[in-house]
Structure 1
Amino acid sequence: MYISPMLLHKVDEPFNDDEWITELKLDGIRLILSKFNNKVRLYTRHKNEVTSKFPELLDINIPDGTVIDGEIIVSGDNGKPDFEAMMERFQSKKALYPIQFCVFDVVYYKGQKVSSLSLIERKQLLSKFLPQSDNVILVQWIEGNAEAYFNLVQQQDLEGIVMKRKDSKYQIDERSKDWLKVINYKYADVFITGLRKNEFGMLLSIEYDNQIEYAGLMEFMNPKDKATFYRVHKELIIGENKNFFYIKPQIKCRVKFRNYTKKGLLRIPSFVEYIS
C-alpha cells in the first residue's frame, strides 16, 4: 500500500520553540515501507516501487497493516550519510553498500490509520513496535533547541535539520508548514561559462590557480536574474555544440549548494547574486 508522504517547507534559519522537535536531516532517499497481507512493499516518494532493490528490509518484523515513513541512507567512511554511495546502491545491484532505513513516522498501524494522532503520539507508538537492527533504526529527536542543533550540524558538515510541530498530524500528500527543513548550504563564487540550449541550465566554472575548471550545472535561477543574463550573454558566446552555447568567463556570481561531489563538482547549485 502506497501513501504519498508529507513534505517539508524550507526556511532559511532555525528557531527555538519547545512546541517543536528537532531532528537531523538525513541525506538519502525518502522511503515508504508498507506491510499488508504479510508482504512488505517499498516505495519512493514518487510512487516508484523499489521492493526488489532492498532485500534487507523485507523480513522486518512489524505488525501486518502497518505503513512507516523514513529515509534510506548509506553511511560513508566518516560515518556521515553518503548520498553518492546511496545513489550507486539504488541504481545498481552490483553496488554492495550496506543500507540503513532511518524511520521517523508511522501512518498506519495494524490496519488503522493513525495520521490524526499528534506527532509525539505517533513517535511513542513507533518506538513501541519498531524492531531496530543493523538495517533499521529509529530517528532520534530532541525538544526545541533547533539553533544549537543547527550549529552542531554546521560544525560537522552535515546536510541540515528538520523541525516539526509536536502536535502536527501526518498530512498525506501535503507540503505543510508544520514540518520545516533548514539546509546547511555552502557558498561559492563561480563564472557562468555555458548555457544549455533546450531546458534551462548554466555551466559553472571555478578559478583555481589561474585555471578555469568546470564546477557543475546550475538549473535554479529566478526570472529577474535570468533576464539580466539574457540581455548580455550573446555578446559573450565563444562557441557552441548541439547542447550548449559556451560563454566567455566574464559573468561571475555567487551560488549556494549542498556539498561537493566526489568529483569536486557543486551538488545542486542555485543562484544567489551577481558579483560582476
Structure 2
Amino acid sequence: MRPMLATSGDPRTGPPTGPGWAHEIKWDGIRLLAEVRDGSLRLLTRSGRDIAAAFPELRAITGVGQDLLLDGEAVAMVDGRPSFGHVVDRVHTASPTVAAQLAAARPATYIAFDLLRLDGMQLTGLPWSARRAALEDLLLDVPGVLVSPVYDDGAELLAATADQGLEGVVSKRRTATYLEGGRSTDWLKFPHRDTMSVVIGGWRAQTGTATRLGAVHVGLPARDIEGRPLRDGAGRLQLVYAGRVGSGLVGRTGLALAERLAQVPDAPYPFTAAIPRAEATASTWLEPQVVIDVASLGLTPGEGRLRQPSFQGVREDLTPLDLLELP
C-alpha cells in the first residue's frame, strides 16, 4: 500500500475556509505507514521499505492492536522544532546497538494523522472525519506516539506555523475518503518554504581540492513522449538538468554527502541536454540514485534552473521515480 498524497494549494488564496475543512500542521519528518500484525511492527517508507529497526523507540505502537495500519510521520525535535536532518539520517541505521543509542540520544516521535485499517477492517472508504475520530480514541497515551492536532481556522494556523518556523499546513476535506497511492485535491498543502526534491547526477570538487565536495549537479526525472521514465540504452534514468547546488555543503554536512555519493557508481553524463563547459569541467557523473531536498527561490523561466538553491538533506525515503508523482 502507498500513502495518499496532497496537492499543492494556491498560495494566493491560502487554506480553504468553512466547516467542510480541517487543518493540520505540516511536519518536517519522514512519511511512514505504521503497520502492526500479530505483535510485529513495520514502518514503511513511500517506496515500501521497512525501516522499523531504525526506530526502536516506536515499538509501543505494537501494543495498540493485533491488526493496525496508521499513516503519519516520524519526527525528531531539536530545540522544540522538527529537524528533518536528524530524523532522515536514521533511515539507513541497521545496527540494533546504533539504533538504540540514537533513540536514547534524540528519540523520534510518530505523529499519526490517519487510520487506514483496524482489526481486519479497511477504513479507507470512510470519510476523513470518521477515521479521525477512531484514530483519537485508539491512540490515547501510547509512548512515542502523538495524534496530529486539528484546527478549524487554516489561515490562522498558517500564520502561526510561519511565526514558529514550522513547515506549513495541510488542509483536508472532512468528507474525503483515503485515496491509496494517489494525489487528491481533497488534501491541500501550503508549505512556507519553496523546497523541492531533485536527483543528483554528478558532483564537482571544491576549488583547490581533488575530493572535497564543492557542488552537486541535480535534475528531475525525464519522461518520453508516452509519459514513461526516459532511460538511456543501458536502462539508466535520464534527468532534466536543474542546476548546481553548492550552498549548504560546508563542514560535516558536505562530508556526509560526499560519503553517501561515494557509494554510487560512476556513470555516463545523465542529463538530457548539454550544460555549459564551465559547469561541466572537472565533474564526476553518477548513476541517478540519490534524492535530495533543496530550498530555492524557484525555477528560472525557460531554462528551468534552480535560483539560489541550498542543500537541505538527503531524502533516503524517496527514489528518483517517486519524483514523477510530485507536482
Q: Given the two structures, how large is their TM-score scaled by the length of structure 2? A: 0.60
Opposite residue 158 of structure 2, the aligned amino acid is: F
Deviation at 1:163, TM superposition (A): 0.3
Distance 1:51 1:238 in 2: 41
Please list every run of 5 or more consecutive structure 1 residues that lacks an aligned counterpart in the other structure. Answer: 188-192, 207-213, 215-228, 245-253, 258-263, 269-276
Against the structure 1 CA distance between its residues 148 and 237, is the aligned structure 2 distance closer, same or farther, given a 3 Å change threshold? same
Matches within 5 A, 1:48-63: 48-60=49-61, 61-63=63-65
Q: Which residue of 1 aligns with 2:312?
A: 267
**Alignment counterpart, residue 240 of structure 1, candidates 259, 277, 281:** 281
Deviation at 1:11, TM superposition (A): 1.7
Against the structure 1 CA distance between its residues 194 and 267, is the aligned structure 2 distance closer, same or farther, given a 3 Å change threshold? closer
Matches within 5 A, 1:1-276: 3-13=1-11, 14-15=14-15, 16-60=17-61, 61-77=63-79, 79-92=80-93, 93=99, 95=102, 96-143=105-152, 145-185=153-193, 196=217, 199=239, 200-204=241-245, 234=276, 237=278, 240-243=281-284, 255-256=297-298, 265-267=310-312
**Whose strand proportion is higher, 1 or 2?**
1
Please list every run of 5 or more consecutive structure 2 residues that lacks an aligned counterpart in the other structure. Answer: 94-98, 196-213, 219-237, 248-253, 255-272, 286-295, 300-308, 314-327
Distance 2:284 2:90 in 1: 30
SS in 2 for 1:4: coil
SS in 2 for 1:237: helix
Given that 2:8 and 2:189 are in contact with CA atoms closer than 8 Å, whether structure 1 keeps it comes out as yes
Against the structure 1 CA distance between its residues 203 and 107, is the aligned structure 2 distance closer, same or farther, given a 3 Å change threshold? same
Opposite residue 24 of structure 1, the aligned amino acid is: I
Opposite residue 60 of structure 2, the aligned amino acid is: D
Distance 1:27 1:147 in 2: 19
Task: Identify the range of structure 1 (110-119 vs 160-169) with the bigger mean alpha-carbon deviation.
Answer: 110-119
Given that 1:132 and 1:138 are in contact with CA atoms closer than 8 Å, whether structure 2 keeps it comes out as no
Q: Which residue of 2 aligns with 1:218?
A: none
Opposite residue 71 of structure 1, the aligned amino acid is: E
Distance 2:178 2:27 in 1: 19
Given that 1:107 and 1:115 are in contact with CA atoms closer than 8 Å, whether structure 2 keeps it comes out as yes
Distance 1:67 1:195 in 2: 38
Given that 1:194 and 1:202 are in contact with CA atoms closer than 8 Å, whether structure 2 keeps it comes out as no
Deviation at 1:66, TM superposition (A): 1.3
Can you list the C-alpha shifts for 1:199-244, whole angstroms capped at 9, x where unaligned? Answer: 42422567xxxxxxx9xxxxxxxxxxxxxx97xx74x837711338
Equivalent pairs, count: 223
Q: Percent identity?
A: 24
Deviation at 1:255, TM superposition (A): 1.6
Against the structure 1 CA distance between its residues 239 and 9, is the aligned structure 2 distance closer, same or farther, given a 3 Å change threshold? closer
Given that 2:115 and 2:132 are in contact with CA atoms closer than 8 Å, whether structure 1 keeps it comes out as yes
Deviation at 1:91, TM superposition (A): 3.2
Against the structure 1 CA distance between its residues 59 and 157, is the aligned structure 2 distance closer, same or farther, given a 3 Å change threshold? closer
Distance 1:166 1:239 in 2: 50
SS in 2 for 1:24: strand
Opposite residue 7 of structure 2, the aligned amino acid is: H
SS in 2 for 1:116: coil
